[in-house]
Amino acid sequence: MGIGLDATPSQVSLLFTGCLPVTAVAMLVVGRVSSVLGAKRTLVAGLAIIVLFAASAGLSGSIDGIVGFRAGWDLGNALFIATGNAAEIADAARATVQAHLDRLAARGMAADGRILTSVGDHAAAGRALARHAAAMDAQLVAVGRSLRGSFVQFADGSLTTALTRDAACTVVLLEPGRAPRPLTEDAFAELRAG
């Protein structure tokens, strides 16, 4: 490959590994982009970027051009793959919530459930959920544990923290494989430590 492009082995290696930082950084902002554009537009934008930069890389006559276009290609990959995965996870979460609501309805309990996805500002979403719970005169709000890491929660806020602080009703944390538990300061301290 390097012979046809008159490229050194390190340039060829850069072609395959040098763009990983672009993908990693892009993955950090994909949720925010998707919350602004919507999942469908983000998927289409990602695909368009992939096609544009892949074609440009194919038409480029130098290894430097190919490496540069490959970085743009990886930006499109990040938009497309991360948004597609998030949409798939959201669909599975909706099905799980609906199954829980169906079980409650079968027992004669009135319940409402929503999946919040791509909310961008998670702390603002927590405050909005607390206001909605108050308007509905809810006695309990149950939330699942976020799979987002500590850094991301620091960057755009924690829905659960804001909800627990602002809600007038009990907030319960649901985690797979564990019994539901009310969220208190002690529970938050345990979550942060664990």
pLDDT 10s digits, 132-175: 889 888 888 888 766 555 555 554 457 788 888 899 988 887 76
The domain locations on the chain are 9-88, 119-193
36 or 155: whose pLDDT is higher? 36
Which residue in 87, 94, 159, 105 sits closest to 130, CA to CA?
159
The whole-number pLDDT of residue 125 equals 80
The average pLDDT across 53-67 equals 84
CA dist 177 and 145 (Å) reads 12
Higher pLDDT, 79 or 48: 48
Q: How far lies 83's CA from each of 11, 54, 71, in Å?
A: 31, 20, 18
Residue 59 has pLDDT above 80, yes or no: yes
Closest CA to 143 of 162, 157, 156: 162
Q: Can you give the pLDDT at residue 117?
A: 55
Query: 157 with 121: CB under 8 angstroms?
Result: yes
Long-range contacts of 146-150 (CB under 8 A, 24+ apart): 146/122, 148/122
Q: Which two tokens stand for residue 145?
A: 């544990």
What is the residue-averaged pLDDT of the chain? Answer: 76
Is the pTM for the entire model greater than 0.85?
no
pLDDT at position 190? 67
Yes or no: say if 58 and 77 are a contact pair by the CB < 8 Å rule.
no
Weakest-pLDDT range from 16-25, 53-62, 175-184 = 175-184
pLDDT tens across 77-127, in order? Answer: 888 888 887 777 777 777 877 787 787 778 887 777 666 655 556 778 888
HSE-up of 62 (CA within 13 Å, CB side)? 3
Joined tokens for residue 124: 């603002």
- Band (55; pLDDT cuts 50, 70, 90): very high
36, pLDDT greater than 80 = no
